[in-house]
Structure 1
Amino acid sequence: MGRIMAIDYGTRRTGIAITDELQLIASGLTTVPTAELMDFLLDYTRRETVECIVVGLPKQHNNEASESEVHIQGFLKTLEKNLPEIPVDREDERFTSKMAFQAMIDGGLKKKQRRNKALVDEISATIILQSYLYGRQ
């Protein structure tokens, strides 16, 4: 069984989370500069078996796509071109940043650590992945 990867795509930074090989546990992997994202994904998928990539689906409160979806659509085309053998799913990512920030507070991180936007992006990707796994049950 391969891993499932989740991506919290941003125009500057992208948070990445991954499951274990049994696809039971979602863990934060890293945050990479978005300009380096495809190189990171190509390298990672050469070393590890990734069965599926889940990309966050940003929606507004009224259920319409947010303005960042335009950027994600461009990324999805590049992803399909470079990794056509890996299926891509989408998962609603509304409120994941707020949930990530709350998780940091609940985890006892100090205020300075909570300002680390890269960590927020990685935790957001983990929340997206955990939500995706929960929806598959």
Structure 2
Amino acid sequence: MQKIPTWILVVAVALFDENGRVLLQQRPAGKHHGGLWEFPGGKVESGEIPQVALVREVAEELGIGLDPAALEPCAFAEEMGCPAIVLNLYTCRSHAGEPAGLEGQQFGWFDLAGAAQLALAPMDRRLLQQLVR
């Protein structure tokens, strides 16, 4: 009998600016995939709705506000491991405030071709490929 992994739900956003660029941030050194680039987001806590978790995570990491109603489900990726992770990606085309690396992380706005040239975390690379289709 195959053991079923414990799945961790993670949410992220492909936040686009008025020029069609997407906001990406660099994972802190010392964390899983440290130094690699990713879509902003984080873990969904117990009892949280995914969109609400995403709004919370982006505010904590980058200090910007998102409207949960403006988040559109877009794609997902999975990573088997201990724990196993499923990452749901949403798109959004509006935000309040200017981003800041509140956790000391680097961030930037990139066109999709430029984003593809970055050292992306594996699931984020798969998600980016789904965006450019």
TM-score range, shorter chain: 0.3 to 0.5
TM-score by length of 2: 0.34
Structure with more strand by fraction: 2
TM-score by length of 1: 0.33
Structure with more helix by fraction: 1
